[in-house]
């Protein structure tokens, strides 16, 4: 009937052959054994997270793929770099800093059917990486924020976040250099709804932290700086993540990690894939390997952070780690506040508030 049909078939056949040849040359993901897969993947990371411990499964499975790292100094820095058109395939934001990537169209939705380790992640952790019901991020490193204190200097213990603003410890407090962090602490103390801070509340928070400045020795930006403050005995109480607690406790320093009556704060690190990356397949493989067991064990045992792979966490037996994660306390998660996502307006208002605290007379 159609005289053009044979030509059509021929063209289709040629196209198919060509596709097969091309895909064989280009390394079709499904057909090439992992060991022979080549390519380059770039990751926008935090300094120190480029260590092979943190991607050992990927390294071992795909030894011929080159992974290059570029670093951001903070969530804001990483976000600004991605917004400015950074070409990293994979990036590493933390709780609170996810929404804008979706709003500005910077992140690819993740096809979780391609992740072999996805089933090992608990639903509650999966949910934290979802925005508007879609899985844009995979959860990766998990930690607490609470008050770390020297038990020899504060023998009475710390029971509330208010200790960070207590003039009793003047000259020996160290707050994290971060506006949203300060808003979180004040919200816990005064029972504000962190997702709906009013202008009046923000003004009160500003005044509170301006007054706190006289008691605060220094704002810490990097954890080593804070840890050094504890070792030298200058810092007695600080806003801190549990990695610092586990490290200093391991060194034999008399420190404790408070269980404040308002609850600890909990945060999580995520990986996202840049929208429009040409390395989507490699990026998915990288994320999948991030969730694998050997990598997870390193996160937990070497760096004292939690990992979303439940097999990894249920295998933890080290009492020091159980203590740091609060794994032996059945109420710890019920008494923990997860960091909510910031909106762009909150981000601007809260960081400006903090800048004004630091600039205040």
Binding site for other proteins (CB under 8 A): 73-77, 79-80, 83-85, 103-104, 171, 175, 177-179, 213-214, 216-219, 221, 232-234, 344, 347-348, 351-352, 354-356, 358-361
Q: Which is nearer to other proteins, 257 or 354 (by Cβ)?
A: 354
Taking the complex as a whole, how short is the minimal distance between the CB of residue 126 and other proteins, in angstroms?
Answer: 26
Written as six digits, the tokens of 346 are 């909150």
Nearest CB to other proteins, comparing residues 225 and 262: 225
Q: Residue 185 or 246: which CB sits closer to other proteins?
A: 185
Shortest Å, Cβ 91 to other proteins: 13
* 169 Cβ neighbours under 8 A, 6+ residues apart: 154, 163, 215, 236, 237
Whole-angstrom distance, CA of residue 143 vs CA of residue 324:
9
Tokens at 265, concatenated: 């704060």
CB of 238 to other proteins, least distance (A): 13
Residues 67, 241 contacting (CB under 8 angstroms): no
State the DSSP string of 89-154.
Answer: SEE--BTTS-HHHHHTT-EEPP-GGG-TTGGGB-HHHHHHTEETTEE-EEEEEEEEEEEEEETTT-
Cβ-based neighbours of 327, under 8 Å, separated by 6 or more: 313, 316, 321
**What minimum distance in Å lies between the beta carbon of 237 and other proteins?**
14
Buried b (16+ CB within 10 A) or exposed e, 42-64: bbbbbeebbeebbbbbbbeebee
Under a CB-based contact definition with an 8 Å cutoff, are residues 248 and 231 in contact? yes
CB of 55 or CB of 241, closer to other proteins: 241
CB of 254 to other proteins, least distance (A): 17
Rounded least distance, CB 159 to other proteins, Å = 24
CB nearer to other proteins: give 101 or 325.
101
| Planar angle of CA 230, 239, 55, nearest 5 degrees | 90
Closest CB to other proteins among 198 and 352?
352
Give min distance, CB of 123 to other proteins, in A. Answer: 31
The secondary structure element, H or E, covering residue 20 is: helix 5-26
Q: Which is nearer to other proteins, 108 or 288 (CB)?
A: 108
């Amino acid at each position: 009937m159609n005289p053009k049909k044979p030509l059509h078939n021929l063209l289709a056949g040629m196209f198919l052959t060509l596709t097969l040849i091309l895909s064989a040359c280009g390394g079709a993901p499904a057909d090439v054994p992992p060991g022979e897969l080549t390519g380059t993947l770039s990751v926008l990371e935090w300094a120190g997270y480029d260590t092979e411990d943190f991607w050992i499964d990927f390294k071992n499975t795909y030894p011929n793929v080159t992974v290059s790292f570029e670093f951001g100094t903070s969530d804001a820095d990483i976000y600004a770099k991605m917004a400015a058109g950074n070409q990293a395939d994979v990036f590493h934001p933390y709780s609170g800093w996810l929404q804008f990537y979706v709003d500005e169209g910077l992140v690819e939705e993740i096809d979780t059917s391609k992740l072999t380790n996805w089933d090992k992640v608990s639903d509650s952790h999966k949910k934290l990486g979802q925005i508007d019901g879609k899985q844009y991020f995979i959860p990766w490193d998990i930690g607490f924020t609470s008050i770390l204190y020297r038990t020899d200097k504060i023998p009475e213990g710390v029971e509330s976040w208010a200790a960070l603003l207590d003039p009793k410890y003047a000259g020996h407090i160290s707050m994290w250099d971060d506006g949203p962090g300060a808003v979180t602490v004040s919200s816990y103390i005064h029972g504000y709804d962190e997702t709906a801070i009013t202008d009046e509340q923000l003004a009160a928070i500003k005044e509170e932290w301006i007054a706190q400045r006289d008691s605060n020795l220094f704002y810490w930006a990097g954890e080593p700086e804070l840890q050094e403050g504890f070792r030298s005995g200058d810092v007695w109480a600080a806003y801190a993540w549990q990695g610092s607690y586990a490290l200093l406790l391991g060194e034999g320093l008399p420190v404790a990690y408070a269980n404040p009556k308002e609850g600890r704060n909990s945060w999580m690190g995520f990986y996202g894939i840049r929208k429009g990356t040409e390395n989507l397949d490699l990026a998915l493989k990288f994320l999948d390997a991030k969730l694998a067991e050997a990598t997870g064990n390193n996160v937990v045992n070497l760096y004292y952070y939690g990992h979303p792979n439940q097999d990894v966490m249920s295998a933890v037996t080290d009492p020091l780690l159980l203590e740091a994660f609060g794994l032996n306390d059945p109420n710890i998660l019920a008494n923990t506040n997860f960091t909510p996502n910031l909106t762009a307006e909150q981000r601007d208002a809260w960081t400006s508030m903090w800048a004004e605290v630091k600039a205040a007379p």
